[in-house]
Amino acid sequence: VSSEPSEFNRKLQEQSWSQSVDSSSDVIVGLAIVSDRNETFRMRETLSTVYSDFCRRNLCQPLVDVLGNFSNSCVEESCLRSILEPYLSFTAAKWVDRPIHDQEHQFSEISGTQLIQSIPPVPLALLFVTVLLEQKVVLASSRRGMLMAASDAIVQLLKPLEWKHLLVPLVPESMMN
């Protein structure tokens, strides 16, 4: 950013958003980055890094103050970009301008971790046995990125074996029935 975000800094000092929240109750802070491209892993890592940098020991006052400040209509539009740009650049380093083979390996590693973290042990074991027995598996989700990651992770679970049958990770809605 070429100039000092004076209005943003003034509003940040003027109103403390974290002080306006009732401290006796739990407050949930939600973060979302919207993109016109499918960059699920990069966005998730960016948000995790922002959260870990701004929140210490389960205290999110700095993050609440900064994000609450964006509700002011007079705050410069470039301020959010200037805050997020270092995080986006850092997380893009794993994906952008890297050979496809490296990206595939990184994607498989992350998707495997997400599958293991998102499915309880017993259903995960049943899924593994089902795939080993070469049975049909149908995954359903409204999140395309999650379907791609899950299908890739399931195939990766089989290593050193290989899936030799038809694999269709995404199906158009018209073909779902």
CB-count exposure of residue 91 (10 Å: 0-12, 13-18, 19+): buried
Nearest by Cα to 94 from 110, 83, 118, 112: 110
Average of per-residue pLDDT values in the chain = 76
pLDDT band at 129 (very low <50, low <70, confident <90, very high): very high
Asked if 45 and 91 count as a contact pair (C-beta separation under 8 A), the reply is yes
Per-residue pLDDT tens for 33-81?
A: 666 555 666 777 777 787 778 777 666 777 777 777 776 666 666 677 7
Q: What per-residue confidence (pLDDT) applies to 38?
A: 56
Q: What per-residue confidence (pLDDT) applies to 96?
A: 66
Residues 6+ apart with CB under 8 A from 128: 157
pLDDT value at 93 more than 60:
yes
Asked if 75 and 8 count as a contact pair (C-beta separation under 8 A), the reply is yes
Per DSSP, what are the bridge partners of residue 56? 59
**One-letter amino acid identity for 146?**
M
Nearest by Cα to 82 from 3, 162, 170, 161: 3
Interior/surface letters 52-87, b for 16+ CB within 10 angstroms, e for the rest = eebeeeeebbebbbbbbbbeeeebbeebbeebeeeb
Helix H or strand E segment including 56: none
Q: How far apart are the first and last CA of the chain?
A: 51
